[in-house]
Amino acid sequence: MFAIDIETFISLQPGLLVVIKMAGVMTLVLIKVMQLMNHSDADGSKQHRITV
């Protein structure tokens, strides 16, 4: 089957950590944006929205 030796894992580890961290940050940002969107919808104010 598919196996990764220790040298390959050590060389790939920094790149994998960066990808995992970027995915985590993007998830947190998405959660925050959704919370902000729900908060602005909850108070009923639509004067800040821009329509084209």
- Would you say 20 and 12 are in contact if contact means Cβ atoms under 8 Å apart? no
Using DSSP's 3-state secondary structure scheme, residue 51 falls into: coil
How far is it, in rounded angstroms, from Cα 38 to Cα 45? 11
At 49, is the pLDDT very low, low, confident or very high (cuts 50, 70, 90)? low
pLDDT digits (tens, 9 = 90+) for 2-26: 788 899 989 999 999 999 999 999 9
At 51, is the pLDDT very low, low, confident or very high (cuts 50, 70, 90)? low
